[in-house]
A and B are shown apart, each in its own frame.
Chain A
């Protein structure tokens, strides 16, 4: 940087890249937002309007598509199944992973590293790759066409990443706390339950939100394990619905808007947790 610029030209030179920066960033914002907005607007048009003028504002507002979707019993059963699978999976993952992560962050025993590496296997065998073997075992147990089958599989494949994340968080809690608790007569479980878990609420929230998103969005496991319409989850049902009503784009738009809105609202509330969980998990691996 040389010194002989006049003040004004220097601020101009400084602001030019900044302006360019904002220009690019807002362009990307548009690229992200426009497809979403078009779907939400499209759902507020009639079927004909969606075809003839897809890029205009939805005037007059037409709520018929939303009403139609909300009147479908199958939409509600899908919503219920998705919610059920998501809640049970999340509770299971958080419980199991906090137990495991506690052992790996707070206790020493022989073969610890080997066992921990075993638990990270799930990161190398993602569900997409392992789906066929998993399907075969679920069929053998007799849990196809059963929401429990989906719950158990989703739980198993979410464990690795969540153990890695939670272990990292738990290790950051000072060991003096543990010593103090032991001196005061706490046993390992007492320390875990009364001190570690309450202190780790943000980490647990991060792991829970990650699991919720993964479970809510999962297509493959329900697709492979569930045939019966009354067991369909939202992603599975959305896919079938799109095949069935392929021509009525406005109705499909309403359908995907309604199944996305809960996800987006949840994201706006839990953004920090999701992000901290993801970055912690990814950067630690």
Chain B
């Protein structure tokens, strides 16, 4: 509003109308944002702060938390061999995902490409496991991984190859993570393939046509043109894959409960065990706080350095 708005004449009339519109808009903004704000504050923000508070206590979950122990829970986390193992398993799953699962999905996306006949069929089939629940996926693969080749399909196939013996996939500390990774790949490769296919769709075909005219062969095309142009999609998939591997819970809980001898323990199963099986809620809160921190730091680094670079380009 200008200084002379008290002067009621025709010139300021539009401003008057404008200010009621402004008020109306303000009301709309507040009312429309309110529901989401309420849900967010009650079920996300407040609990997270509470959890940080509880992490400073030794608390079994009954009555108020009174046994203040400072940072002792965190000291215990960082010196617990099982927790460190769980972190290591998580990292291994991340490394395997980035080096096997994502390249595999990318290769399949490039194969299906833009105009292969049967493209829709392949997409429908490959994406189907993503829609199944982790519970059902877990139980199904539990049956398939049965150590007895007469019952477990994986071993039945394996023993067809002369010289190979059946492996107790989920019962052996050396193979259990690998087996879980196979199931994770089975369930999630379709999702990443889908992302890459969507990314490919955004590359103008003129660029590839121009390259063809310039005499580029198929391999050069993929390494020097297609993949660099997919850059931002690939970075997104890396981010989702890392964040996703922090979240794996149901699948592992169904198939191994983190065993045998913690060989497939990850942070989420570790946290669940301490919180909801042993009811050490103070310690569980500390583990949750550590996980939240890891997720937050990783996300911020990604948004700040990777995503921003994408926007600037």
Residues of chain A whose beta carbon lies under 8 Å from any beta carbon of chain B: 1, 17, 21-22, 24-25, 28-29, 31-36, 38-39, 42, 51-52, 54-55, 95-97, 99-100, 102-103, 107, 109, 115, 118-119, 121-126, 128-137, 152-153, 155-157, 159, 163, 187-189, 213, 216-220, 224, 234-235, 238-239, 242, 249, 252-253, 256, 259-260, 263-264, 267-268, 271, 274-275, 278-279, 282-283, 285
B249 touches A35 (CB 8 A): no
CA distance A148 to B292 in the complex (A): 26
Is B141 interfacial (CB 8 A cutoff)? yes
A34 touches B153 (CB 8 A): yes
Smallest Cβ-Cβ distance to B296: which chain A residue: A124
Q: With A126-B295, A279-B198 in contact, is A102–B32 under 8 Å at CB?
A: yes
B135 touches A157 (CB 8 A): no
Most chain A CB within 10 A, of B135, B186, B215, is at B135
A188 touches B143 (CB 8 A): no
Is B265 interfacial (CB 8 A cutoff)? no
Smallest Cβ-Cβ distance to B116: which chain A residue: A21
> How many A-B contacts if CB must be within 8 Å?
241
- A124: contacting residue among B126, B140, B295, CB under 8 A: B295
A95 → chain B, closest Cβ, in Å? 8
Task: Report chain A residues within 8 Å CB of B253.
Answer: 219
Smallest Cβ-Cβ distance to A213: which chain B residue: B131
**B123-162 Cβ-contact flags toward A at 8 Å (1 or 0):** 1111111011111100111111000001101001000000
B28 touches A103 (CB 8 A): yes
Give the size of the chain B interface in residues (CB under 8 angstroms). 87
Task: Report chain A residues within 8 Å CB of B150.
Answer: 52, 54
What are 11 A-B pairs with beta-carbon distances under 8 A?
A: A32-B190, A100-B35, A109-B25, A124-B299, A125-B48, A133-B50, A134-B44, A220-B249, A238-B136, A239-B139, A260-B133
Smallest Cβ-Cβ distance to A38: which chain B residue: B153
Smallest Cβ-Cβ distance to B192: which chain A residue: A282
CA distance A34 to B275 in the complex (A): 37
B122 touches A103 (CB 8 A): no
**B197-239 Cβ-contact flags toward A at 8 Å (1 or 0):** 0110000000000000001011000000000000001001101
A129 touches B247 (CB 8 A): yes
Determine, out of B3-11, B171-179, B280-288, the stretch whose residues face the partner at the interface.
Answer: B280-288
A256 touches B195 (CB 8 A): no
Q: With A128-B246, A129-B247, A163-B36 in contact, is A283–B233 under 8 Å at CB?
A: yes
Kindly list the 3 A-B residue pairs having the minimum CB-CB distance in the complex, ordered from nearest. Answer: A133-B47, A133-B51, A217-B133
Residues of chain B whose beta carbon lies under 8 Å from any beta carbon of chain A: 24-26, 28-29, 32-33, 35-36, 39-40, 42-48, 50-51, 54, 108, 111-112, 116, 118, 122-129, 131-136, 139-144, 150-151, 153, 156, 186, 190-191, 194-195, 198-199, 215, 217-218, 233, 236-237, 239-240, 243, 246-250, 253-254, 268, 271-272, 275-276, 281, 284-285, 288, 291-292, 295-296, 299
B202 → chain A, closest Cβ, in Å? 8
CA distance A262 to B247 in the complex (A): 25
B246 → chain A, closest Cβ, in Å? 7
B35 touches A96 (CB 8 A): yes
Task: Report chain B residues within 8 Å CB of A260.
Answer: 132-133, 136
Task: Report chain B residues within 8 Å CB of A34.
Answer: 153
Task: Report chain B residues within 8 Å CB of A136.
Answer: 47, 50-51, 54, 281
B108 touches A133 (CB 8 A): no
B132 touches A54 (CB 8 A): no
CA distance A155 to B36 in the complex (A): 10
B48 touches A156 (CB 8 A): no
B40 touches A159 (CB 8 A): yes
CA distance A126 to B271 in the complex (A): 14
B51 touches A238 (CB 8 A): no
CA distance A134 to B276 in the complex (A): 13
Task: Report chain A residues within 8 Å CB of B268.
Answer: 128-129
B36 touches A96 (CB 8 A): yes
B111 touches A279 (CB 8 A): no
A122 touches B40 (CB 8 A): yes
